[in-house]
Amino acid sequence: MALDTIERTAKQLVLTVQDYSVFAYRVMFNLFRPPVYWTDFLIQSDIIGVGSLSIVVLSGLSTGGVLALQSAATLSAFGATAVTGQFVSKTMIRELGPVLTGVMVSGRNASSMASELGSMVVTEQIDAMRALGVDPLRKLVTPRVYSSIAMLFLLTIVSDAFGIIGGGLVTVFMNNQNGPQYYAQAWQHLLFPEILQGLVKPLFFGYVLSTIGCFYGMRTTGGTEGVGRSTIQAVVISSVLIIFVDFLITQVMIALFSSWA
């Protein structure tokens, strides 16, 4: 009995991965074949990008501030509080900026995509669209995926900037350290691989959160209860995948740029 359950679960998992792979592949290459819905791309960019700006600014500021507080406490034990700026900027740009932005945007937008598309599925709007000769993947999913990638890239830069500003504010007004020194440290010690790493990650995170959100929305079954289930799955799986993909990209980037001094 237990073996049956394991077998069924394993098959279900493999089937889901297979379905997701086909879905993600189709969505990715839709952009290169007409029709491309540019208006929908702009609308989604507004919803995802402008709509997420406030949470990204606030989370970036707070994270930068916390980093400055925590690092200054530790660094002071070694008489190295002067490198707080370097610590905050490297951590924000390489790691926390992309990951936090990805998780925040995932919480807001993967859930919204799953619930919106899920509602359309259970009310037969997706079938109606197909019956009218319009491909829902092209019309609904592809614009969401590409606008998520573009917007997450820009939002990560915003988050990095506000993280460094937040760290600076804490350094100057709470830790009573030298402001110009903080900003000089934050800027001068940044290396190209670190910036590249920080800018490559959101491209992958945007793809992951939007394809997962849309995938679970499009395969919703079971009425309104099913919409709720899809929304939860989308947020949980996209958040976990973002952290896992972050691990993989970090490994690859470190290996690629190990000789960079």
Binding region for other proteins (CB under 8 A): 35, 123-125, 127-135
Q: CB of 127: closest distance to other proteins in angstroms?
A: 5
Q: Which residues in 82-104 are b (16+ Cβ under 10 Å) and which e?
A: ebbbbbbbbbbbbbbbbbbbbbb
Amino acid at the residue 102:
G
62 or 125: whose CB is closer to other proteins?
A: 125
Q: Which is nearer to other proteins, 3 or 131 (CB)?
A: 131
- Residue that the structure tokens 């995938």 belong to: 215
- The DSSP secondary structure of 170-224, one letter per residue, reads HHHHTS---HHHHHHHHHHT--HHHHHHHHHHHHHHHHHHHHHHHHHHHT--SHH
Task: Using the Cα atoms of residue 254, residue 257, residue 259 and residue 261 in order, give the sign of their dihedral.
Answer: negative
Question: Closer CB to other proteins, residue 127 or residue 225?
Answer: 127
Nearer to other proteins, 8 or 180 (CB): 8
CB of 142 to other proteins, least distance (A): 14
Our CB check for other proteins shows the closer of 76 and 123 to be: 123
- Cβ of residue 29: shortest distance to other proteins, in angstroms? 12
131-to-35, 55, 124, 215 alpha-carbon distances in Å: 17, 39, 10, 20
Minimum distance between the CB of residue 137 and other proteins, rounded to whole angstroms? Answer: 9
In the complex, minimum distance from the CB of residue 34 to other proteins, in angstroms, rounded to a whole number: 12
